[in-house]
Amino acid sequence: MRSLDVQVPAFNTTFMGMAKGAATSLGIVANDALLYGASGHAFVMYVHESLCPSGPYCFDRQPLFRLLRNLGLEVSDLGFFASEATPTQRAAVDARLKEEIDSGRPAGLINMEFQLVTGYDETGFLTAQPWACNDFPPKRLSFGTWDEFGGEVHANFFTFARCSEAERNTSIRESLDFAVSLYDAPARYAGSGYGMGPDAYRMWKAAIPEHGASHGNWWNATVWGECRQRAGEYLREVALFTGLPLASELAEPYAEVGSLLQRVSEKELPGPDKIALLEKAERLEADATKGLRQLARDLPTKMAPSPQASLA
């Protein structure tokens, strides 16, 4: 049996939990605010027109992978595998995951939730559960059959490696540019039936009358509310690092949006009240995005961090 000592935090945003566990195992020092913010995930909002709980999982993750490289974490996607994956294809994935673990590095996967693969025994892989649940997502994955995924497989597998970090001012600027692009060109990031950024708010409000009390509404609000709270924390740290007051000013609306979305998650709250909260969050975020555009312009090319900075 081969097992790695890897801890996965119980984030609602399980992509971030996977990334945090992998980064820590590789010796990369990045607090939660930096990880969410510099990766760009803090600014993502991706919603299906029916508020399907797939929203937090189905968007293109390549921009996040590129931004995570700025923190020293290189994520490689081994590809998508459905139920039709052949025994040869599954065996190749299994062999690659074993190689990673034998080298002392965790691997990752998504099939409904993001998880780290932290070891293996004679019959299968050990998988870290993001929350204290008994059977979901599964604690292990059998070699070859992947039986624990159930009747349908919609899986991607990931490897992690350490790479050179970018200068912190570069990682800040690129994360802000990404956040602004989600608002300036949301269709660029969206698949059929989904909306990003301002389109996500529009779809969300339209779906509330029929789906406002659904599990999907609760889950989208829970995940995106967590992300916006982290955006506020990130911008407060950016303010300390750069000495730019605008970053501190922008932290407040993102924190408020996070609180508003958490209220939207309440299943018993009437639909009209949820729509009103979303409208307020939408206005706050639209104005804050304009501020992010200015903040990116204000960042000096090079900077010495303030002694108070904690962007680490």
Q: What is the pLDDT of residues 273-291, one digit of tens each?
A: 999 999 999 999 999 999 9
Q: What is the pLDDT of residues 98-156, one digit of tens each?
A: 999 999 999 999 998 999 999 999 999 999 988 877 778 899 999 999 999 988 899 99
Do 73 and 160 contact (CB within 8 A), yes or no? yes
pTM for this one?
Answer: 0.94
* pLDDT value of position 122: 96
User: What's the farthest any 2 CA atoms get from each other in the chain?
Assistant: 57
pLDDT tier at 301 (50, 70, 90 boundaries)?
Answer: confident
Q: Kindly state the average pLDDT of the residues 67-77.
A: 98
Q: What is the pLDDT of residues 6-44, one digit of tens each?
A: 989 999 999 999 999 999 999 999 999 999 999 999 999
Q: What is the pLDDT of residues 203-218, one digit of tens each?
A: 999 999 999 999 999 9
All residues at 6 or more sequence positions from 11 whose CB lies less than 8 Å from its CB, including other chains: 17, 20, 32, 130, 226
Of 212, 198, 216, 197, which is closest to residue 274 (Cα–Cα)?
212
Angle at 146 between CA 143 and CA 150, to 5 degrees: 160
For 251, other C-beta atoms within 10 Å of its C-beta total: 20
